Amino acid sequence: MIYENIIETIGGTPIVKLNSVASHIKATVAVKVEYFNPGHSIKDRIALQMIEDAERDGRIKPGGTIIESTSGNTGMGLALAAAVKGYRCIFTMADKQSQEKIDILRAVGAEVIVCPTNVEAEDPRSYYSIAGRLSKEIPNSIWMNQYDNPSNRAAHIATTGPEIWRQTEGKVTHFVAGMGTCGTITGISSYLKEQNPNIQTVGIDTYGSVFKKLKETGKVDTNEIYPYLTEGIGEDIVPENCDMSLIDEIIKVSDKDGALMARKLSKMEGLFVGWSCGSAVFGALEYAAKNLGRDDLMVIILPDHGSRYLGKVYNDQWMQTHDFLDEGTMMTAEEILKFKTDRRKVITLNTSQTLAEAIAVMREQDVSQIPVSDGVSIVGSVNETRVLNTILDDPSLKEGPVTQAMSDPFPFVLRSTRLDIISKLINKDNPAVLVQGDNGSLEIITKFDLIGVLAR
C-alpha cells in the first residue's frame, strides 16, 4: 500500500508486553508504544484532529498560520500536518524543554519562541500568553490551545481508545496515562468506560503539579505548585479537557524516578522512550504491585520517543548534575576491581582436566566458579553447583573431562564498562564477568564483588 501523504500513517500503534521491569507484577502489564506515529509521539493524533476540525468549521483557511503553546510533541504533529496542508507554524515553548525538541521543530519548518518556565500562566511572558497574543495579532491564524480544545479529547475517543479495546480483545482492566493537557487520559478513559464501566483509569502526575490534590480535594492548592523538570506531564493550571470523573486514582512520580525508569525501559525492554513514559511506567508498577491480580490486564500509554531527551535523561553528565544517578552505578569495571580485597591472578582450568581436578582446585583456591580454557582462549566455565549436580547424577563422571559440566564462558567486559551494564550481565545463569588487563592478564568480577561495592 502506498499512502498519499505522511499524515495517513498516524495511529494503529502496537501494544507490547513488559517483561523485565514488570517481572514482580502478578498481572499482565503492557504498553501502547506511541512513538510508532510518524512524528514519534501520541500528539500526532490530536494535531491532525485539531487542524481538520478547524478546517471544517472555518476557523482556519488556506495559507493560514497555526499557533500553539507546546512542550514539543504537539508542535511536531502540527508541523507535519501543516507541511502537508500548506500552513505556517509558530510555536511557543517553555525554556525547560530539551534543545532536541526545539531543534526538531525548527527542522520541520516551524518558528519557535522560547519563553520562561517559572512565571504564572497569566504572565504576558508565559508561553500560554504569548501564543494567545500572537493569534490576535496575526491575520488568518488560530491558536490550537490543546489544553482547552475539545478536539484533543475527541481524537482519543475516535482512535486510541478503540485501538486499545480491539487490541486487547476487550480484556483490558486498567488503563494508565500521564496527565498534562488531559486529552489523552480523558478521551481514552471515556471510550473504555463506555465499553466496560469497571475499567480503572490511573493518572500519573508529577510533584509540583496540581492534579493529584485537585482529585483528592476538588480544589487547586497553590502551595502544591512549584517548578519541576519532567516534560510532558503536570500542570500549574487546570485544562478544560480535565474531567476528574473519568479518573479513578492519581499517582505522583518524582523527576528522578521517571528519568531512571525511562532509562530502564530502554536498556531492559528495548523501548527507547521519553521522560514521561518512564514516569507513567514507574507509577503504574507501583499501583499494580498493590492492586492487581493475575487476571488483570493493564495498558500504559508511552507517549513519545527517547530521541527528544538525548541531552537530558540519556546524558550521564546531565543526570549526574541533577543527582539523578547514584555514584555507584557510574563506577567502571576498573574502579570496581580496586575495591576487591582479593585480586589474585584468575585461576583457569584446561578442557583436558577432570571434574575431580576441578573440585580440588575450587577447594584449594576457595572459589565457586572458574573459567575454562582450551589453551588458546576461554571457551567455557564451571561452577560448584553444576559440578556437584553432574557428579550426583553419575559418580563415574568424576574422572571424566571438565567439559561434561561446562557452562558458557563468562562474558568479557572492558575496563571502562559501567557497573549498571555489568550488573545486567551477571545473573543466576551467569555469576561473573572477566576483565582483561593491558598485559593480557585476567581479572574476575562476581556478584559478591558488586554487592560489596554497592553496600560500602
In this structure, how many other beta carbons lie within 10 angstroms of the beta carbon of residue 389? 10
Q: Taking 60 as the threshold, does the pLDDT of residue 456 lie above it? A: no
Domain 330-455 top-level CATH class = alpha beta
Domain 6-41+158-323 top-level CATH class = alpha beta
- Give residue-wise pLDDT tens across range 113-172: 999 988 887 899 999 899 999 999 999 999 999 999 999 999 999 999 999 999 999 999
Query: One fold for both 43-143 and 330-455?
Result: no
What are the sequence ranges of the domains in the chain? Answer: 6-41+158-323, 43-143, 330-455
Q: How far is CA 215 from CA 20, 181, 204, 246, in A?
A: 32, 15, 12, 11
- pTM of the predicted protein model: 0.76
Active site residues: 43
Per cent of the chain over pLDDT 70 is 97
Q: Which residues on adjacent β-strands are paired with residue 251? A: 204
Pairing of strands 432-436, 28-33: unpaired
- For the CA atoms of 199, 158, 36, 204, the dihedral, rounded to the nearest 10 degrees, stands at -40
Q: Average model confidence (pLDDT) for the chain? A: 91
Range scoring the smallest mean pLDDT among 183-192, 281-290, 297-306, 423-432: 423-432
Residue 359 phi, psi (nearest 5):
-65, -40
b/e map 203-219, b = 16+ CB within 10 Å: bbbbebbbbbbbbeeee
Q: Taking 80 as the threshold, does the pLDDT of residue 112 lie above it? A: yes
- Give residue-wise pLDDT tens across range 175-215: 999 999 999 999 999 999 999 999 999 999 999 999 999 99
Mean pLDDT of 51-68: 96
- Thinking of the domain 43-143, which architecture would CATH place it in? 3-Layer(aba) Sandwich (3.40)
